[in-house]
Amino acid sequence: MEYFNFSNRVAIVTGGSRGLGKAMALGLAECGANVVIADVLENEQTIEEIKRFGHGALFVKTDVTKKRDVDNLVKRTVENFGKLDILVNNAGIFVAGPAEEVDEKTWDKIMNVNLKGQFLCAQAAGREMMKRRYGKIINIASIAGKSAFNQGLVYNVTKAGIIMLTKSLAAEWGRFNVQVNAIAPGIFKTDMTNDLLGTDAIKQMIKNSVPLQRFAEPNELVTTVLYLASEVSTYITGETITVDGGWTCHL
């Protein structure tokens, strides 16, 4: 059986224009899915790369903090492809700073994108999936939702919230055959982290803290997304899979 054949499946990837979101979108497309990219920034190259796999590709400009945008995203997806099977809830931001200096504007911005945005997208997608009694929602959390990053208070709180959002939706929507799971990534190499990962301080931190003693490549997250989106994982819901090279498994 071709467990990772997504032919005729339709997937939305939020924050999919670049970075890990782009890698996940391309991974789904390579396995046969029609992919909708939802982002505030359009990247024509990403859409063209998806199309090279011979499947449908669509970009819908979406601010995940706005219900109107999110509802339009799901509507456009169904209009173009007839259904929605998979949502990868990836859009998110990170702002570092001491807890005592976090202002209300920063708190609201991170909360709105990371937590409210994931809720709005899951809610809109879930409504469509429940009609068909089939759906796979994959929320991208972080190891920061389990063990706090220093000077990452608001980000940490949102990622912990995503883990509980995942459990809550899974508990409610299981009877509709809608599975909701999350992934908690550790350190991954992307265009945005290249410079950081090249510093001596980060190299030493990885060596000391990560049992596998290396950062991860994007495909090592993509394969986990494919697993949760596939028919291999039909009895898994409400779970958060940690993909961090063992970083959080020890003191």
Average pLDDT score over residue span 60-69: 98
Q: Which two tokens stand for residue 163?
A: 């883990």
Ranges of each domain in the chain:
10-190+217-240
Is the pLDDT assigned to residue 167 strictly greater than 70? yes
Of 126, 116, 124, nearest to 91 by C-alpha is 116
DSSP, collapsed to helix, strand or coil, labels residue 31 as coil
Question: Are residues 72 and 60 in contact, defined by beta-carbon separation less than 8 angstroms?
Answer: yes
pLDDT-based confidence at residue 80 (cuts at 50, 70, 90) = very high
**CATH class for domain 10-190+217-240?**
alpha beta
Which residues participate in catalysis according to the annotation?
Answer: 155
Which position has the higher pLDDT, 193 or 39? Answer: 39
- 81-107 in b/e form (b: 16+ CB < 10 A) is bebbbbbbbbbbeeeeeeeeeeeeeee
Percent of the chain exceeding pLDDT 70 equals: 99
Longest Cα separation, the chain: 54
Q: Which two tokens stand for residue 37?
A: 């990219």
Q: What is the pLDDT of residues 173-213, one digit of tens each?
A: 999 999 999 999 998 888 767 777 888 888 898 988 899 99
